[in-house]
Amino acid sequence: MRVPTPDETPETAPITTTDHSNSGWWASRWSRCTGPLRDRGMSTAEYAVGTIAACAFAALLFKVVSSPEVQEMLSKLIDQALNTNG
């Protein structure tokens, strides 16, 4: 079985089979797991940082929306929207 070199991508690596087996398919799949395309997606640490950032943003948004000034502004806006007489 021929294993692709590190500079070959799975798309450019020639697929060879021996005795009509799936060795070319396996080499292509293996190179996708170990080749330059293996570092796709987020790791657990990146998910953790993203979750913490989202929680911090939610806490900040809650603090802003629950402030008396913003609540008063939202109440006036709703009252104006519902008041059709003027």
Write out pLDDT tens, residues 24-45: 777 777 777 666 666 666 678 8
Write phi, then psi, for 35 (nearest 5 degrees): -85, -165
Which residues are CB-neighbours of 64 under 8 A, at least 6 positions away? 70
Average pLDDT of the residues in 42-63: 92
What pLDDT sits at residue 41? 66
Global confidence as pTM: 0.43
Indicate the domain borders of the chain: 44-82
What pLDDT sits at residue 13? 61
**pLDDT mean across residues, the chain:** 78
